[in-house]
Amino acid sequence: MNVLERYEPLIDDFEAFRAACERPLPSAVRVNTIKTTVERARRAMETADMAVEAVDWHPGVFRLPDDQPGTNWPYVHGWLHGQEEVSALPAVVLDPQSGERVWDACAAPGSKTSQLAALMDDSGLVVATDNNLGRLSALRSNAERLGVTNLAVTVEDARHHSLKPFGDPYDRVLVDVPCSCEGTVRKNPDALDNWTLDHVQGISGVQKGILGRAIEVTREGGTVVYSTCTFAPEENEAVLQHALESSPCRLVEFDCPLECTSGVTEWEEERFDDSMRRAKRIYPHHNDTGGFFCAKLEVTGG
C-alpha cells in the first residue's frame, strides 16, 4: 500500500480510501441491449437464481454479490457481459449516437467496445483497435457472443492508427489507455507489486501519443473521452495538459453520474491548466467501486 500513500495530499478522507482499496470488489455485469432488454435480462438472472443488485447510476449494470458471471443462460445468450462497474462510465460519457463513426483506440478485451456498439443500437461504425493479438482474440470472441455487427477490428499501435480503410474522421473517440492500473487493486491485490515511477513515466509517453492521434482523427467539434484506471497524475492530468498544449482541443464539463472529485491543477512540481478541474477522479471509497479517471475533450479548429 506504500505506493498509494503518495496520493494522500489529493484525497480528503485518506483512511476511507485506504480501507476501500483493501476490500475485494463485487463482480458486476452489464446488460447487452443489442440482444435483449434490461427487464428480460433481470428476469433471466432471477430465474437462474442469481442474486443481483441494480446500481443506482446505470440502468443496465448489476452487482452480483455472490456470483461470478459465466455459466448461466443469460450469459451464454450474450445478454450479459462481465464488466467492472466503474468501467461502464467512459462509454456513457462519450455518449455515441446511432449512425455515428466511433473509434475505440485501446479496445481489447472489448467490454467498452461492445457497450459503445449497444449505445449506438449496433448501427454506424465502431472501429476497435489494439496492438495485442491475444487480447484482440478475446475481443473478437466477446463481440461474437454479444452479437456486435457494426464493428471493424484492427491490430495496430493506436499511435499510428490508419484511417485509410474507414474514410472520414471520427465523430467520437474513446481513449481508455493502458495504464499502471492502480485503481484495480481491489480486483488484483498484486496490481501494485511491480509499480515503479519509471514505468508510470514511460507509459505516460505512450498515453500522450495515443491521445494525440485520437484528436488528429476526430472531426472538428467531435468528442474524445480520455480515461484510465489509475490515480497517478502523471498518467491523467499531465497527459491532458500535454494534449491541451500540443493539439486543438479543450476540456469540457460533463455530469458524472458517480460520486467523484475534480481533476487536480497541481502535482508535486507541476502546474496544470485550470480547466483540469473539469476532469473527474473517482476513488474506491466514493461509490464502492474500483478507482477511475475520466475527462471529456472537444476537438476544436486547428
Partner 1 sequence: MNDTTNVGTRFDRLPATADDRCVEGRATRREVLRWWDERFGVDPEVFEAYSFWERGAGKVWAFHGDLDSPVDVEGLGITFLRTRQEHWKPTLSAVQRFGTYARKNCIELTETEARRFFTGEDQELDWDGDWGYLVVTHELAGEQEPLGVGLYVHGELRSMVPKGRQRDLRE
Q: How far is CA 278 from CA 160, 165, 222, 256, in A?
A: 28, 34, 17, 10
C-alpha of 228 from chain center: 6
Is 41 or 264 the residue whose CB approaches partner 1 more closely?
41
Strands 80-82 and 27-31: antiparallel
Instruction: Tell the smallest beta-carbon distance from residue 87 to partner 1 (Å).
Output: 22
Instruction: Tell the smallest beta-carbon distance from residue 63 to partner 1 (Å).
Output: 20
Is 123 or 188 the residue whose CB approaches partner 1 more closely?
123
Q: In the structure grid, which three cell numbers stand for residue 151, read together?
A: 464493428
Contact positions toward partner 1, by CB under 8 A? 35-36, 40-41, 43-44, 47, 70-74, 76-78, 122-125, 136, 140-141, 143-145, 147-155, 165-167
Instruction: Tell the smallest beta-carbon distance from residue 167 to partner 1 (Å).
Output: 8
Instruction: Tell the smallest beta-carbon distance from residue 7 to partner 1 (Å).
Output: 38
- Cα–Cα distance between 274 and 262 in angstroms, integer? 11
Q: Name the residues annotated as catalytic.
A: 229
CA angle 297, 301, 302 (to 5 degrees): 105
40: part of which helix (H) or strand (E)?
Answer: helix 38-47
Is 78 or 90 the residue whose CB approaches partner 1 more closely?
78
Contact 28, 84 (CB under 8 A): yes
